């Protein structure tokens, strides 16, 4: 059990922003918390799950998680939903209208922007949602503020009957910093749901009268923001440049320009325009430092203030002292010293699939079959686009593989006439948003071969549970969806639903060949667990017998990180043609004995060091 869970008020801890959010949610009396895993927000729910006073769940997607939180709020409970920035896109349909209806129990949406795309398909500034959905935004700059602002967010939400967005970024979520606890759990619960159709049934007739109320709420929230001590001025001695900033950008500004005046926004939307105007009057130049879009900068300009910002600062990517210094020092007429050493030129280490990864088999198959357009999705299998497979042609968002593949089938051009369309998606992504695409494809008589790679986990975020794993957020047994039955229920013919062990490479290749030739949709389901989870059983490592290895390189094509090139030889055939032989070795510390590579090796050079009974067993789920 995490020591923080039982820690008392006044105690001091080294916590990530995500851990701080969890503790604050507990203190704030949160009754229901829901999320779908997504970097960098995943650990918020994982930590909330450590507090037994809070009902917490992995929801199947972000929209569902927000709707669960909305329901709990209407029932009178304080509720929290957490997600990464792209999760907000999914969830937006729910909160855009609930903002109009309002809330009862405090409702807080924590969104984590992956600024700099450390593990995402795009970069988004979630502060837009506050403007778009008429919801206030709080922006913590570090773990202590994450803790403080979450507690305040529930008070604000209930006082103004509005959902509140707490906007974090990777540099808050994943930075560990000091947090001093100021309290322990206090319950906040209303007696229960109060029926009121005019308020809660958003028909046009009921929604319309809410519009002026929502705009009036915007006005009163701006007054609250003007008065809030979360919006704080740090008086500086050097008044040549004053900074207006929020979130972790504040830390970079203080680090880089310790003597400059700073207007720090903790309650950043609606912005306290009057106070910022007064601040601007006290300095020569105002620079707005924000990650990532020039949102505040634009609003300040619209309010008639003369400010600078993105004319000198980057429009995308993370800010840091090393970014601010070269951008701003020249404005002060100060020399900027370029660090003495330039960037190093060491080889890249792109992320790879793991040893025994059950996705290796399908990608070995896909990389050996020609004439495919392979439409991908979000998960570890997106790595199939990389070396050595080069067997993934698109990736945009959760669930897009099936629907895009259907569109590619229907919209195929001349050069694609003879191509087969394949969609690749994982178990959790299929349940998140993929199955609608399959239903749509069946309904509209499409023809796509679907590879449903069931590794029984949300792999890329660290092996979380989902409705396909048989366990819930708390590791307790939960009903496990039957993917084959689900596909059949959506309309795939039973003959075209094929279960396969992805470690059995010949079968894997044969099945993909067969099914892509069919003139109707097929679903091929793999059934091996992620090799990083407890469901995976590690077996004895294999080795390469040097005297038997012929240098064909087939095992290298598998892309297993345990297999590497021991040496190369160039040989000349009788025909005079030269050929490069690639001899392999297996790292015994990395190999987990899955035996996939054995199937690629004709000369039987890959063996287990000692005579061993060759049994591969999958743990029963749970």
Instruction: Report the interface residues with other proteins, using CB under 8 A.
Output: 12, 14, 39, 117-119, 142, 171, 174-178, 248, 251-252, 254-256, 320-322, 339-344, 346-354, 380, 383, 387-388, 460, 462, 532, 556, 559, 561, 564-565, 568, 589
Would you say 434 or 559 has its CB closer to other proteins?
559
Would you say 1 or 302 has its CB closer to other proteins?
1
CB of 255 to other proteins, least distance (A): 4
The Cα-based distances of 16 to 44, 47, 141, 165 in angstroms read 10, 10, 12, 19
The rounded distance, in Å, linking the Cα atoms of 292 and 571 is: 55
Which phi and psi angles does 486 have, rounded to 5°?
Answer: -65, -45
The rounded distance, in Å, linking the Cα atoms of 622 and 475 is: 8
CB of 153 to other proteins, least distance (A): 23
Would you say 195 or 387 has its CB closer to other proteins?
387
The rounded distance, in Å, linking the Cα atoms of 196 and 204 is: 15
The rounded distance, in Å, linking the Cα atoms of 165 and 168 is: 9
Would you say 211 or 565 has its CB closer to other proteins?
565
DSSP single-letter state for residue 402: H
Is there a contact between 231 and 215 (Cβ–Cβ < 8 Å)? Answer: no
Total Cβ atoms within 10 A of residue 489: 11
Which phi and psi angles does 61 have, rounded to 5°?
Answer: -155, 175
CB of 357 to other proteins, least distance (A): 9
The rounded distance, in Å, linking the Cα atoms of 511 and 230 is: 60
Would you say 42 or 98 has its CB closer to other proteins?
42
Total Cβ atoms within 10 A of residue 593: 20
CB of 118 to other proteins, least distance (A): 3
Helix axes 295-302, 273-280, angle to 10 degrees: 80
The rounded distance, in Å, linking the Cα atoms of 326 and 328 is: 6
Would you say 474 or 567 has its CB closer to other proteins?
567
CB of 350 to other proteins, least distance (A): 7
Total Cβ atoms within 10 A of residue 121: 13
- Residue corresponding to tokens 């997607």: 61
CB of 587 to other proteins, least distance (A): 9
Would you say 158 or 557 has its CB closer to other proteins?
557
The rounded distance, in Å, linking the Cα atoms of 397 and 499 is: 26
**CA-based nearest residue to 80, from 7, 160, 26:** 26
Would you say 248 or 376 has its CB closer to other proteins?
248
| Cα-Cα end-to-end distance for the chain | 21
Would you say 97 or 590 has its CB closer to other proteins?
590
The rounded distance, in Å, linking the Cα atoms of 390 and 90 is: 29
Is there a contact between 621 and 469 (Cβ–Cβ < 8 Å)? Answer: yes
- Residue corresponding to tokens 């504040």: 250
Would you say 195 or 349 has its CB closer to other proteins?
349
Total Cβ atoms within 10 A of residue 338: 8
CB of 341 to other proteins, least distance (A): 4
Is there a contact between 374 and 354 (Cβ–Cβ < 8 Å)? Answer: no
Would you say 117 or 211 has its CB closer to other proteins?
117
CB of 4 to other proteins, least distance (A): 13
The rounded distance, in Å, linking the Cα atoms of 44 and 23 is: 9
């Amino acid at each position: 059990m995490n020591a923080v869970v039982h820690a008392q008020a006044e105690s001091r801890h080294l916590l990530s922003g995500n851990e701080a959010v969890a503790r604050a949610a507990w203190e704030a009396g949160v009754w229901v918390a829901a999320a779908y895993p997504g970097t960098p927000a995943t650990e918020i729910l994982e930590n909330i799950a450590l507090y037994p006073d809070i009902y917490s769940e992995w929801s199947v997607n972000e929209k569902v998680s927000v709707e669960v939180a909305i329901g709990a709020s209407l029932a009178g409970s304080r509720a929290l939903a957490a997600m990464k920035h792209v999760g907000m896109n999914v969830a937006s349909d729910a909160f855009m209208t609930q903002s109009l209806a309002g809330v009862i129990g405090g409702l807080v949406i924590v969104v984590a922007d992956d600024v700099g795309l450390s593990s995402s398909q795009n970069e988004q500034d979630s502060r837009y949602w506050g403007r778009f959905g008429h919801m206030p935004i709080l922006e913590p700059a570090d773990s202590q503020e994450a803790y403080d602002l979450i507690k305040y967010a529930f008070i604000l939400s209930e006082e103004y009957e509005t959902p509140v967005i707490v906007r974090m970024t990777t540099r808050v979520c994943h930075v560990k910093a000091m947090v001093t606890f100021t309290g322990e759990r206090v319950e906040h619960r209303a007696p229960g749901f109060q029926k009121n159709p005019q308020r809660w049934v958003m028909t046009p007739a009921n929604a319309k009268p809410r519009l002026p109320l929502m705009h009036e709420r915007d006005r009163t929230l701006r007054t609250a923001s003007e008065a809030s001590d979360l919006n704080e001025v740090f008086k500086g001695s050097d008044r040549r440049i004053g900074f207006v900033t929020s979130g972790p950008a504040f830390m970079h500004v203080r680090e880089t320009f310790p003597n400059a005046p700073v207007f720090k926004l903790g309650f950043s939307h609606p912005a306290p325009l009057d106070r910022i105007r007064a601040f601007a009057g006290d300095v020569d130049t105002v620079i707005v430092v924000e990650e990532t879009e020039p949102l505040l900068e634009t609003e300040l300009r619209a309010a008639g203030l003369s400010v600078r910002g993105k004319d000198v600062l980057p429009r995308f990517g993370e800010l840091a002292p090393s970014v601010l210094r070269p951008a701003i020092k020249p404005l002060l007429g100060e020399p900027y010293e370029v660090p003495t050493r330039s960037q190093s030129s060491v080889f890249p280490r792109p992320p790879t699939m793991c040893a025994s990864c059950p996705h290796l088999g399908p990608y070995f198959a896909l990389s050996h079959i020609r004439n495919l357009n392979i439409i991908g999705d979000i998960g570890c299998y997106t790595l199939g686009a990389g070396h050595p497979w080069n067997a993934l042609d698109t990736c945009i968002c959760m669930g897009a593989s099936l629907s895009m593949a259907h569109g590619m089938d229907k919209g195929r051009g001349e050069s694609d006439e003879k191509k087969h369309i394949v969609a690749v998606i994982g178990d959790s992504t299929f349940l998140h948003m993929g199955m609608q695409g399959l239903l749509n494809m069946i309904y509209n008589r499409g023809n796509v071969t679907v590879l449903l790679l069931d590794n029984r986990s949300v792999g890329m975020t660290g092996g979380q549970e989902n409705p396909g794993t048989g366990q819930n957020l708390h590791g307790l047994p939960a009903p496990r969806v039957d993917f084959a039955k689900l596909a059949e229920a959506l309309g795939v013919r039973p003959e075209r639903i094929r279960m396969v062990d992805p470690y059995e490479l010949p079968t894997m290749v044969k099945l993909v060949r067969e099914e892509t030739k069919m003139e109707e949709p097929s679903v091929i389901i793999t059934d091996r667990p992620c090799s990083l989870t407890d469901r995976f059983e590690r077996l004895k490592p294999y080795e390469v017998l040097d005297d038997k290895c012929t240098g064909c390189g087939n095992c290298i094509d598998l892309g297993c990180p345990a297999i590497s090139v021991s040496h190369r030889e160039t040989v000349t055939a009788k025909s005079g043609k030269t050929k490069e032989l690639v001899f392999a070795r297996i790292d015994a510390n990395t190999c987990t004995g899955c035996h996939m590579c054995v199937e690629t090796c004709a000369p039987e050079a890959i063996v287990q060091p000692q005579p061993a009974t060759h049994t591969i067993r999958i743990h029963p789920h749970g």
